Copies of this chain bind each other. A is one copy, B any other.
């Protein structure tokens, strides 16, 4: 009952490279430790490379698992392990019954977000760190935006501000959405992909944290009014091209917004940062 001739002919995994016993005698020949490369990793590499290089774009579809099993000359399980890794890195998405195969999502920052989330949950990063960092990012972004903003940027910011105004005292959801858009536009105007990315991530995390701390509904009208005024001031500074003022306004707005959430000692620490920077 030998279900089949179990030959495993295509066993070509990279671990065939055994560490060479360094019996050459001379001391000046040194070898580095070998980490066996597993089959699924080489599949991940190939697909990841294709996505990074743009040969696979957002919206494309991977071949089905059975098809890849043939193309990569591995078993289905191995293909699936690679799929799981790619999926957890936010590069693809697969769902059962999809005749197209897994969908390519392109490059994203979801893995980055998950990492920060874990560090926050694990108490490696405190709320004060997040607020502090966001003040740095936001003030830098606003300074840059004040210098680099185009007319289109100003128009878009104006629209976002008007949306906030329209939603004040009425629709917190819409207000919050416009708020997020405003900050995104500033980050975009700063013309630095990293500032944009990291600030986005930290902004999201902070919003999640405060959402779990205080009920959203408590964010009353007066809070929104105040926030609106802050944004208007910032936009005015950006429009005038006064980088230092834009940076200062952004920092102070954030501080007023979040200082109530911080422990007193953290609050003084953040104030200390403000003084140390003394940017404005």
A118 close to B80 (CB less than 8 A): no
Within 8 Å by CB of A89, from B15, B114, B143, B194, lies B114
Q: Kindly state whether residue A48 has any CB partner on chain B within 8 Å.
A: yes
A130 contacts B by Cβ under 8 Å: yes
Contact check, A124 vs B81: say whether CB atoms are below 8 A apart.
Answer: no
Say whether A226 faces chain B, with CB atoms less than 8 Å apart: no
**CB within 8 A of A84: which of B81, B121, B194, B278?**
B81
Nearest CB in chain B: distance from A129 CB, A: 5
- Give Cα A140–Cα B279 distance, bound, in whole angstroms: 11
Interface footprint category on A: 35 or more
Q: Distance (Å) between the CB of A8 and the closest chain B CB?
A: 16
Say whether B112 contacts A115, CB under 8 Å: yes
Asked if A37 is at the interface (CB within 8 A of a chain B CB), the reply is no
Partner of A80, one of B81, B126, B192, B279: B81
Q: What B residues does A118 contact at CB under 8 A? A: 48, 52, 107
A175 interface contact, C-beta 8 A: no
A218 to B164 Cα, complex, angstroms? 55
**Residue interface mask A105-143, B partner, CB < 8 A = 1:** 001010110111011011011100110110010001001
Interface code A170-205, partner B: CB below 8 Å = 1, 0 otherwise? Answer: 000000000000000000000111110110001000
The count of identical subunits is 2
Cβ–Cβ contact A272 & B77, under 8 A: no
Main secondary structure, interface of A, reads helix
- A144 in the interface (beta carbon within 8 A): yes
CA distance A91 to B116 in the complex (A): 13
Q: How distant is the Cα of A106 from the Cα of B178 in the complex, in angstroms?
A: 38
Determine whether the beta carbon of A136 is less than 8 Å from that of B89.
no
Asked if A1 CB lies within 8 Å of chain B CBs, one says yes
A133 to chain B, nearest CB (A): 4
Confirm or deny: A59 has a beta carbon within 8 angstroms of a beta carbon on chain B. Answer: no
Q: A264 contacts which chain B residues (CB < 8 A)?
A: none
The interface of chain A, by Cβ under 8 A from chain B, is 1, 15, 36, 40, 44, 48, 51-54, 77, 80-81, 84-85, 88-89, 95-96, 107, 109, 111-112, 114-116, 118-119, 121-122, 124-126, 129-130, 132-133, 136, 140, 143-144, 146-148, 191-195, 197-198, 202, 243-244, 269, 272-273, 276-279
For the A-B complex with A1-B1, A130-B194, A133-B195 known, give 14 more contacts whose Cβ atoms are closer than 8 Å.
Answer: A52-B122, A77-B80, A84-B85, A85-B88, A107-B122, A107-B124, A112-B115, A112-B116, A119-B197, A129-B193, A132-B194, A143-B277, A148-B272, A243-B277
